[in-house]
Amino acid sequence: MKIDEWGVLVSEIYTVQNGEGNDYFYAGDRADSMATTSRWIDLLAHLNMPHDITLLNNFGTESGYQSHPSPRMPANLKETSISSDSLLPYFLVGYCPNTVKYRIKRDGWKTGNGNLVEPMFFAALVDSVFLVSVFVLIQALIFRIPWRWDDGQRKFVSSGSSSCDYLNWFHVALRCPRWVRRSVNEKVLWQKFCDYYKPEPNVNWFLAIYDQTLMRYWL
């Protein structure tokens, strides 16, 4: 995990796996840049630590949102690939929220990839703390089910190894009352964060920010 020349967070895992220098361009390293940078800024904001929310300006375009601002990104990782998973943390940070709302409503409550926004995202868009808390609790119950729906494979798969679903849940839950947040134990969350990010080189500094947030908002 590193901060690149655009000032945004990018992965290094594909670069390292392919044995190239850190300046080598791999689109896969940047596919989650919008979501990861938004989560990073959100964590810093909740910890009252210095952060630059204007970095998120890199992800907005005239026609939508992009995974990473580099002109070398392939077309399938530009505006038409943006999903709820990427756009939700961007919206939660509060950067140009009215623009996000307008574009999603205009497009029939769909994101760039053509899929409907997820329930927690919808609740956040309509600015209902009650609905957000309800959907956070429902998702916490769903986490206990041993199977989950995989959009990519279009089928139910085992949820035991899933960790990515917990990331946005955590950031939404930060906006909820403490008893709602604690519907998922902090130890479970920490393990999921580690499972998701540990394959990534140079990630301990980023995980440390998650650890501080858990200590402040869950314990």
Averaged pLDDT, groups of 10, the chain, 219 residues long: 90 70 67 92 96 90 86 77 89 88 91 89 92 95 75 58 84 95 95 90 94 95
C-beta separation of 10 from 68 below 8 A:
yes
186 close to 219: Cβ distance less than 8 angstroms: yes
Pair 136, 183: CB distance under 8 Å: yes
- Global pTM value: 0.88
What gap in Å lies between CA 82 and CA 138, rounded to an integer?
A: 24
Report the alpha-carbon distance of residue 170 to residue 194 in Å, rounded: 14
